[in-house]
Each structure stands twice: as structure tokens, then as C-alpha cells.
Amino acid sequence: MARSPDDLPATGTPGSTGEKRDANGNVIQRRFYGLDGRAVKNIDYGHDHIGAGDPHAHDWDWSKKPARRPARALRPGE
């Protein structure tokens, strides 16, 4: 998948959360970074993705290609 210049980076400040917003200031994605600074989870807002719902999550597994895994429904408390 080609990256857009406004995509959140795959690595960030360890233990932090990044936010991507639309032109109206609405959060459309949150990315959570692990203690090593690599993405561990995205939560996407504003669209359904392959029946996973809105919002939905993408986990990251750095041992796989691509590391960003398919969409899944949110779990209680997410």
C-alpha cells in the first residue's frame, strides 16, 4: 500500500499516541506506539472496513509483512 504524506508514521515516541485529523478537525485515526516506538495499534474512525465496523482497529505485528494487520472490530474497553 502506498503511503500518503499525511499518514501517521509507523514509528514514534515510545509509549505515545498520534492522531490524524480531517480538514474539519475530527479525529480519523489514532495510532498507539509501544515502548520500542513502533506502532502497536491503530483505531480508525469515520468508515467501516471490511465489515469490522466504525470505529475499528488494526493491530501491528512487526514479524509479518505488512506489519499493519487487517481490520477487526473493537474489543470492549478499546
Q: Domain of 39?
A: 1-60
Domain membership flag for residue 77: no
34: burial class by Cβ within 10 Å (0-12, 13-18, 19+)? middle
Peptide bond before residue 9 is cis, with ω within 30 degrees of 0:
no
CB 58 within 8 A of CB 68: yes
Domain membership flag for residue 72: no
* Confidence at residue 50, expressed as pLDDT on a 0 to 100 scale: 86
Q: What is the CA radius of gyration of the chain?
A: 12
* Confidence at residue 16, expressed as pLDDT on a 0 to 100 scale: 98
Our count of domains for the chain comes to 1
Cα-flanking dihedrals φ and ψ of residue 70, to 5°?
Answer: -60, 160
* Confidence at residue 4, expressed as pLDDT on a 0 to 100 scale: 67
Please give the chain's pLDDT, 78 residues, in tens.
545 667 999 999 999 999 999 999 999 999 999 999 999 999 999 999 889 999 999 999 999 999 999 999 999 999
* Confidence at residue 6, expressed as pLDDT on a 0 to 100 scale: 76
Domain membership flag for residue 10: yes
Distance CA 23, CA 74 (A): 25
* Confidence at residue 3, expressed as pLDDT on a 0 to 100 scale: 59
Domain membership flag for residue 78: no
